[in-house]
C-alpha cells in the first residue's frame, strides 16, 4: 500500500504541473489575443472619432458661411430722394407787379441755380428793409392758403406772391415815407436769407406759400 501511494503521488505531480502549465498557456493566450483586439479597437475608435469630428467641423463651417450669406442684407441705393432746396443754391428774382383795390401784388421767384433738383414746401419768410438793414413795420404775415411740396429742377423756378397795402389810403396805418431799400427772403425752412435791392413800398405785408412757377 505504501508503494501504491507513492505511485499515486508521482502520478499526481505531472497532472498538477500539466494543469498549471495549461492554465498559464490559456491565460497567456487570452492576454495575447486581447491585446491585438484592444489595439485595433482603440485605433478604430480614434480614427472614427477624428473622421466624425472633421466632418462635423466642415459641415458647421459650411453652415456658418451659408448662414452669413443669407443673413447679410443687400442694400440697393434708390437714387430717388430729392433734398430740400437750400439758400446757397437759390436766386431771388422779382417778377410782375400789379395793383388792385388799394393793394400792390408782387410775384417773386426762387430759381434753382444748382446742379441737382430740390424741393420746397410752405411759406418763405419775407420783409422789406431800410438801408440800414432794419425791418420796415414788420415781416409779412402768412395767408391761410394750403400748400404742397414743389420740386424745382436745375434752372427752374418756384414762385410766391406778396401783397402790400397802398400807404396813401386813409386809415392804413402806414406812412408813405417808408422807403424800401432791400427785400429779405428766407426760403421755406431755411435760416439764411437772400437780400437784394428793392424800391417797393411796404405796408401791412402778407405772403403766400411757394407754388410751382
Report pLDDT digits (tens) over 20-63.
444 444 444 444 444 444 444 434 343 434 343 433 444 434 44
Question: Which residue reads 458647421 in cell numbers?
Answer: 60
Grid cell digits, residue 160? 410766391
CATH of the domain spanning 87-212, picked from 2.40.30, 2.60.40, 1.10.10, 1.10.3470: 2.60.40
Instruction: Work out the number of other CB atoms within 10 angstroms of the CB of residue 92.
Output: 19
Residue 172's pLDDT is 83
Do β-strands 141-142 and 90-100 pair in parallel, antiparallel, or remain unpaired?
unpaired
138 and 174 Cβ atoms separated by less than 8 Å: no
Residue 80's pLDDT is 57
Domain segments of the chain: what residues?
1-75, 87-212
Average pLDDT over residues 157-182: 92
Rounded Cα–Cα distance for residues 149 and 212 (Å): 9
Amino acid at each position: 500500500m505504501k508503494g501504491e501511494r507513492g505511485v499515486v503521488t508521482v502520478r499526481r505531480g505531472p497532472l498538477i504541473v500539466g494543469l498549471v502549465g495549461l492554465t498559464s498557456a490559456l491565460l497567456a493566450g487570452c492576454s495575447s489575443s486581447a491585446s491585438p483586439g484592444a489595439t485595433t479597437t482603440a485605433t478604430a475608435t480614434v480614427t472614427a472619432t477624428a473622421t466624425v469630428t472633421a466632418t462635423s467641423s466642415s459641415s458647421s463651417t459650411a453652415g456658418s458661411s451659408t448662414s452669413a450669406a443669407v443673413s447679410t442684407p443687400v442694400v440697393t441705393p434708390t437714387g430717388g430722394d430729392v433734398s430740400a432746396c437750400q439758400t446757397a443754391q437759390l436766386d431771388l428774382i422779382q417778377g410782375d407787379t400789379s395793383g388792385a383795390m388799394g393793394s400792390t401784388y408782387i410775384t417773386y421767384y426762387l430759381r434753382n441755380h444748382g446742379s441737382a433738383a430740390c424741393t420746397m414746401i410752405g411759406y418763405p419768410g419775407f420783409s422789406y428793409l431800410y438801408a440800414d438793414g432794419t425791418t420796415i413795420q414788420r415781416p409779412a404775415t402768412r395767408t391761410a392758403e394750403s400748400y404742397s411740396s414743389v420740386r424745382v429742377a436745375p434752372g427752374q423756378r418756384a414762385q410766391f406772391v406778396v401783397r402790400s397795402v397802398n400807404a396813401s389810403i386813409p386809415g392804413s396805418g402806414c406812412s408813405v415815407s417808408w422807403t424800401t431799400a432791400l427785400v429779405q427772403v428766407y426760403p421755406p425752412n431755411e435760416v439764411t436769407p437772400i437780400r437784394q435791392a428793392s424800391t417797393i413800398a411796404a405796408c401791412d405785408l402778407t405772403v403766400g406759400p411757394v407754388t410751382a412757377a
